[in-house]
Structure 1
Amino acid sequence: MIIDVVDLRGLCEQVLGGQGLSEEDAHILTDILIEAELRGRATHGVIRVPGIVKRIDSQGRTAMKLEREGAAYALIDGQGNLGYLVAHRCAKTVIARTDRSGIGVVGAYNLSHSGMLGYYTSMLADAGFVAMAMCNTGPRVAPWGGKQAVLGTNPISAAFPMQGGQVLVDLSAAAITSGELLVAIKDGASIPEGVALNADGAVTTDPESARGGAVLPFGGHKGYALATMIQIFGGVLMRGDPIPDSGNYGFFLMGIDPEIFGPKADFLAGVHSLVEQIKNTKRPDGVAEILVPGERAFREREMRLSHGINVDDNLLDEIKRA
């Protein structure tokens, strides 16, 4: 059913607040999930609420702590907290460090799933900074040439402020993400051929079989190389487990103030010029428009703010019962 954004936000805040989260934490967590829905990323949206509730019930919460810090860097021990809240604190810390030093690098470890990385890089771009984020996840992706899940789906995101908005890159190194498998299972749908293997290493189009097997990196050996880089950068370097079966994920976020390299106005003008040239590229017949990264998501956001978000009735009932 189509549900108004305000109503969906209120429902999620009520459910999450009922799990012992503070009003502020319930608001932050809800905002991250709703923003994913607004941008058309249902895989990272309210479908996650029941799982979040189960995690809070089973593990409780311990206050995260700042373990290391300097003028331009910090390391946060998430203490097993919800990754969404740890990543949000990382983003706020990066903004403060970047505002003070021109560059900020903040890492975290001992946290769970942190959701849509583009949420956090967008926070930095909204503050006028260039941003890059990476994190590792539990083993879901087979290495190139293998059939056993070793690497995570390992997302990476970058955001760049520009006049009137931002250029936003947000993608996974996997041919299909865990969230997409979850949505396919909920919808009773098949997944594309050639993106996943079952437990025996055979190609499968069944999302349940894929969850018991492995998914493949996108782009063959190139996606595999990217996944490995993210596993080290966003996991090992941040003191997360190399292969985090236990949930000790890592999280990396960096902010750069364009002013350290020259006037910010020149940077913004340069990004604007690049975007205009991309969009004015000659197109083949049948292509109405060329979009830059993030443009589709932000257009979707405006539409859903006006017309509401489509949420499966069964999922809505499950959220209400959580």
Structure 2
Amino acid sequence: MLIELEEARSVALRVLRGVGTPQSHADLQAEVLIEAELRGLASHGLLRLPRIVERVHNGVADPRATGRQNWRGDALLDVDGEGGLGPVVACEAIARTCERAGRLGMAVAAIRNSGHLGAIGWYAEKISRDGQIAIVLSTSEALVHPWGGRKALIGTNPIAIGVPVQPDPFVLDMATGLISMGKVHDYANRGQPLEPGWALDAEGNPTTDAAAARQGAIAPFGDAKGYGLALGFELLVASLTASALGTNVTGTLDSTLRATKGDVIIVIEPHAESGASLAAYLDEVRACPPIREGETVTVPGDRSRSRRAENLTRGLEIPDAIWSQLRHLADCSSLES
């Protein structure tokens, strides 16, 4: 179903306000979800909103919380999110971390007890558009099987890197799983099969059935290399945030348990004279002769920005079942108010 952008935003805000979310927090959470939809990342878009509502109703998420912050040394900000919405807690931490990095050259925020961030490239782009380098890491429930294994024991553990470049920053946003579990849910909602090799079912057997994969495991990207990165990121984030590990991580795919994953946001001041050379180098990469005639070489972030520009005028393609659920939640919120 094709939905106009402002209608989608209005419905999302009504849903969030209906569960007691302050206006500024609702605006931020809705923006992160809508931006994911605009960039074609439905797995991190509006399909996640009903679960946020359920988590608030069940008392494991607090839409009013902004997090409790404490500096561990000069450059490491320790954040207890106090069950707050992921984007709200993260942006509060980013504001202080960016200011500290501006003075010291570098600063880190280590966040625990906070909701799902959404697409982490949004934060990397936000920071890099303001002129600083960003590295964003997050962990998730155990959704990925170890290389050579048949059981989910590691998170999808994404990384985003943002580097300030003119006219648009370089933004890499990738999970260490071959796909995200959100994408599995999106395919299941749309009735689409997965690609072979993407996932295992609950018994550890290869499957293309998205519904069966929800109970199974995702493959690591790049075989042993992606597995190694995923494990390294899991340990790095947990060592800084005291977050849970592996099968003990909860709270981003369920509606009843406290969020126990961790987030790490690293902010660095770039060298003052690096900008022009970075832009020229990326243009050189884009100008590389393509393997397939008629195609062009892109760098991370290019296709996402193009898709966003197209969807700003076209609207958002949202599955009928998800949109009906959101409209119902919004209508219920209106009746309760």
**Into which bin does the TM-score normalised by the smaller protein fall?**
over 0.9
With over 3 angstroms needed to count, the CA separation of the structure-2 counterparts of 1:285 and 1:202, relative to structure 1, is: closer
2:255 alignment counterpart: none
More deviation in 181-190 or 92-101?
92-101
Q: SS state of the match for residue 165, structure 1? A: coil
Q: What letter is aligned with 1:253?
A: I
1:131, 1:75 → 2: CA distance?
A: 17
Kindly indicate whether the alpha-carbon contact (under 8 Å) linking 2:289 and 2:297 is maintained by their aligned counterparts in 1: no
2:165 alignment counterpart: 162
Per the TM alignment, residue 235 of structure 1 is displaced from its structure 2 partner at its CA by 2.9
Instruction: Describe how 1:6-155 pairs up with structure 2 within 5 A.
Output: 6-59=6-59, 60-61=61-62, 63=65, 64-155=67-158
Q: CA RMSD in A?
A: 1.5
Per the TM alignment, residue 215 of structure 1 is displaced from its structure 2 partner at its CA by 1.1
1:245 alignment counterpart: 249
Kindly indicate whether the alpha-carbon contact (under 8 Å) linking 2:189 and 2:319 is maintained by their aligned counterparts in 1: no
More deviation in 291-300 or 78-87?
78-87
Residue from 311, 316, 320 that aligns with 2:323: 316
2:4 is the counterpart of 1:4? yes
2:192 is the counterpart of 1:189? yes
1:298 alignment counterpart: 305
Kindly indicate whether the alpha-carbon contact (under 8 Å) linking 1:73 and 1:106 is maintained by their aligned counterparts in 2: yes
Q: SS state of the match for residue 162, structure 1? A: coil
Unaligned runs of 5+ in 2: 251-258, 330-337
1:280 alignment counterpart: 287
Q: What letter is aligned with 1:214?
A: A
1:179-220: per-residue Cα shift (whole Å, max 9, x none)?
111101101111111111112211111122212121110110
Kindly indicate whether the alpha-carbon contact (under 8 Å) linking 1:197 and 1:203 is maintained by their aligned counterparts in 2: yes
More deviation in 157-166 or 81-90?
81-90
1:30, 1:235 → 2: CA distance?
A: 28
2:45, 2:212 → 1: CA distance?
A: 23
Scaled by the length of structure 1, the TM-score of the pair is 0.94
Unaligned runs of 5+ in 1: none
Spell out structure 1 runs of 4+ moving beyond 6 A: none
Q: How many residues align?
A: 317
Per the TM alignment, residue 70 of structure 1 is displaced from its structure 2 partner at its CA by 4.2
1:212 alignment counterpart: 215
Kindly indicate whether the alpha-carbon contact (under 8 Å) linking 1:73 and 1:97 is maintained by their aligned counterparts in 2: no
Q: What letter is aligned with 1:46?
A: L
Q: SS state of the match for residue 290, structure 1? A: coil
1:50-102: per-residue Cα shift (whole Å, max 9, x none)?
11111111124273211334442201001222223222223222222222222
Sequence identity (%): 30
1:90, 1:207 → 2: CA distance?
A: 36
1:87-138: per-residue Cα shift (whole Å, max 9, x none)?
2223222222222222121110112321100011111101101110101101
Per the TM alignment, residue 288 of structure 1 is displaced from its structure 2 partner at its CA by 2.0
Residue from 257, 261, 264 that aligns with 2:269: 257
2:237, 2:193 → 1: CA distance?
A: 31
Kindly indicate whether the alpha-carbon contact (under 8 Å) linking 2:29 and 2:85 is maintained by their aligned counterparts in 1: no
